[in-house]
Structure 1
Amino acid sequence: MDSEPRWNRDQAHQPDYPEHSGYAQAAESASYPAEDYYPEQSEQEAGKKDHRATAWEIIETILLALLIFLMVRGVVINFRVDGNSMEPTLSHSEMLVINRRAYTSFDLNSVLSALPGVTRQAEDRRYIFNPPQRGDIVVFTPPGSGSDPYIKRIIGLPGETVDIRDGSVWVNDMMLEENYVSSSTSWRGGNQSAIVIPEDEFFVLGDNRENSSDSRSFGTVPKDDIIGKSWVAYWPPGSIQVFPRPSYALE
């Protein structure tokens, strides 16, 4: 007795398409992932994505570096000493870092007047750090000149009387002791007598008193003309130094 054919569940659900029919070809192709048919194209697409990602990373790095550069340049600049007017403290061709924000200030009353109900008062200028102080070495634009910036030391402050006699500088009739000066000081150029320093202006001198164009010839320097304060000398390597403010007996 012949046995009945065994029931095959897979065959029960398998449509019986002619071998060369479109349905058979569609069913056959549907059983394989599409990318198996185009491996080279998939690799090319992946490569393009990697290149795009790399390009964006490079662009982002450049933009970030540019932003950091601009931020740093907004705070510090480099400066090359030209000449020997600041010897022995600074020599010709030394490279310095100048802090442009050392004397940043703001009008307190202008800020307060922005509050509701506050009436604006007279200007009350405040410094975030410190105002220009005696002994600071500063870079500035010389008055009445379109030449390159100068570098000198602040000697007299607003409202003070500065005189030069007996080979020394006198401030408010008190002799200024300067251990960074190797020669005596005398009047040069225009001023030959004591002067009273105007408000928001400063009297500056080079440390090499016999070879310096400074406030003795061009007068006092307005605060707005000060570019920044010398922070550190970094070149040549043997000249690396910071610039602490000297102490004076009259203070």
Structure 2
Amino acid sequence: MEFYNSEENNRIRHVVNWIVDITVVIAFAWFIVYAYGTQIPIAGHSMTPLLQSEDVVLMDRLSYDFGKPDRFDVVVFEREDQKMNVKRVIGLPGETVQIKGGQIYINDELMEQPEGAGSISLAGIAENPVKLGEDEYFLLGDNRDSSEDSRFSNVGNVSGKQIQGRVWIRIAPLANLELIRSK
């Protein structure tokens, strides 16, 4: 009789351990997919040469749950029309952004451009100084002459709440698999 209870307890313990293991694996998989697995297809040429039309990137949702976007981060944001867009952070909260003579000025100082960034032929609303609020960002596409971004009133300044996460890796096409880093 004693032997039977011991064997039954071992089976129950084995089943409970198996259920706990499965639950932990499912929770971990959900966390990884939620945090790093949101696929964002790139439409258009506004982020050329970094990202091409029809590339697919993964978004890191957690980086901005614990921090704020930095200048030159490539971020995913949700527009007022619920479309997801990918752009680069140029202006940070509290700064004043202006585009003069094809160059970007932050708080009246010429911003050092990342390598490969050309001049801007259309300043849009940034022709005049644009003052960013305490939770607003000024975003531009890398292909400045072919990008609908914060220079235009239909996008404008982007609130921190609109920023969904940071682009961290290109997964398609597979031949171009690479980590996406700030410039």
Q: How does 1:47-86 map to 2 (within 5 A)?
A: 66-76=26-36, 77-86=38-47
The one-letter code matched in structure 1 to 2:139 is V
Radius of gyration: which is bigger? 1
1:15-67 CA distance string (max 9 Å, x none): xxxxxxxxxxxxxxxxxxxxxxxxxxxxxxxxxxxxxxxxxx7x988766643
Distance 2:120 2:42 in 1: 22
Given the alignment of the two structures, is residue 132 of structure 1 paired with residue 93 of structure 2, yes or no?
Answer: no
Find the counterpart in structure 1 of residue 81 from structure 2.
145
Distance 1:98 1:203, change over 3 A: same
Find the counterpart in structure 1 of residue 131 from structure 2.
196
Q: How does 1:80-159 map to 2 (within 5 A)?
A: 80-104=41-65, 128=66, 130-142=67-79, 144-146=80-82, 148-159=83-94
Distance 1:97 1:180 in 2: 24
Given the two structures, how large is their TM-score scaled by the length of structure 1? 0.59
Find the counterpart in structure 2 of residue 175 from structure 1.
110
- The percentage of counterpart residues that share the same residue type is 32
Q: How does 1:23-34 map to 2 (within 5 A)?
A: none
For the 8 Å contact 2:71–2:91, the answer to whether it is kept is: yes
Distance 1:159 1:191, change over 3 A: same
Find the counterpart in structure 2 of residue 114 from structure 1.
none
- The gaps in structure 1 that reach 5 residues or longer are 1-56, 105-127, 247-251
Distance 2:126 2:104 in 1: 13
Find the counterpart in structure 1 of residue 160 from structure 2.
223
Q: What's the CA shift for 1:238? A: 2.8
Q: How many residues align?
A: 165
Distance 1:238 1:60, change over 3 A: same
Aligned-CA RMSD value? 2.4
The one-letter code matched in structure 2 to 1:206 is G
- The gaps in structure 2 that reach 5 residues or longer are 1-17
Distance 2:33 2:175 in 1: 25
Distance 1:180 1:88, change over 3 A: farther
Name the structure, 1 or 2, with higher relative contact order (CA <8 Å, separation 6+). Answer: 2
For the 8 Å contact 1:139–1:149, the answer to whether it is kept is: yes
Distance 1:190 1:135 in 2: 20
Distance 1:207 1:180, change over 3 A: farther
1:194-246 CA distance string (max 9 Å, x none): 11111111000000001100000121100011110011112223322222322
Distance 1:215 1:224 in 2: 15
Distance 2:71 2:52 in 1: 21
The one-letter code matched in structure 1 to 2:156 is G
Distance 1:178 1:64, change over 3 A: same
